[in-house]
């Protein structure tokens, strides 16, 4: 069922500082910051040879990463995103196995314009898992 690792998301308190560190200290290719107000984040993409890192900074008053940064003010690893071919089939298999989908259980349009789901970290050993239909 799992295909590629689409991205690893790292929440950071200061996106410009984090992007600068990835570009200048680690020598990575980083995008310009992109505000995604409908997702409550501003994102910088770090392009690696086989996948990408997404550096996330909260945007607006209801950011989904605000609580995480309150708990981890320095930032930290926020979630991993795995690609699946068919997100409805994936959802049905997961719920049949007792895994909980965050929200109302229906896929939403994610930050890349594709259907996504988030799985409850308690069902995946403390890791927040996003599934994205590739």
Give the catalytic positions in this structure.
Answer: 130
- Pick the closer one to a copy of itself by CB: 97 or 104: 97
Q: Give the pairing of strands 5-11 and 52-58.
A: parallel
Element (H, E) at 119: strand 115-119
- Pick the closer one to a copy of itself by CB: 38 or 110: 110
Q: Give the pairing of strands 5-11 and 29-30.
A: unpaired
Least Å distance between CB 32 and a copy of itself?
Answer: 18
Q: How many residues does the chain have?
A: 134
Rounded CA separation 26/30 (Å): 10
Element (H, E) at 131: strand 129-133
Least Å distance between CB 71 and a copy of itself?
Answer: 11
Q: Which residues bind a copy of itself (CB under 8 A)?
A: 1-5, 8, 10-14, 17-18, 21-22, 24-28, 46, 48-51, 53, 55, 72, 74-80, 82-83, 93-94, 97, 99, 121-127
Contact 105, 95 (CB under 8 A): yes
- Pick the closer one to a copy of itself by CB: 32 or 74: 74
C-beta atoms surrounding 39 within 10 Å: 18
Least Å distance between CB 90 and a copy of itself?
Answer: 8
């Amino acid at each position: 069922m799992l295909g590629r690792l689409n991205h690893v998301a790292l929440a950071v308190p200061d996106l410009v500082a984090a992007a600068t560190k990835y570009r200048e200290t680690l020598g990575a290719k980083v995008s310009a910051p992109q505000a995604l107000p409908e997702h409550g984040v501003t994102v910088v993409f770090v392009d690696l040879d086989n996948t990408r890192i997404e550096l996330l900074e909260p945007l607006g008053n209801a950011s989904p990463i605000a609580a995480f940064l309150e708990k981890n003010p320095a930032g930290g690893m926020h979630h991993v995103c795995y690609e699946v071919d068919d997100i409805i089939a994936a959802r049905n298999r997961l719920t049949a196995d007792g895994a909980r989908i965050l929200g109302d259980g229906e896929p939403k349009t994610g930050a890349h314009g594709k259907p996504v789901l988030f799985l409850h970290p308690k069902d995946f050993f403390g890791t927040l898992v996003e599934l994205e239909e590739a």
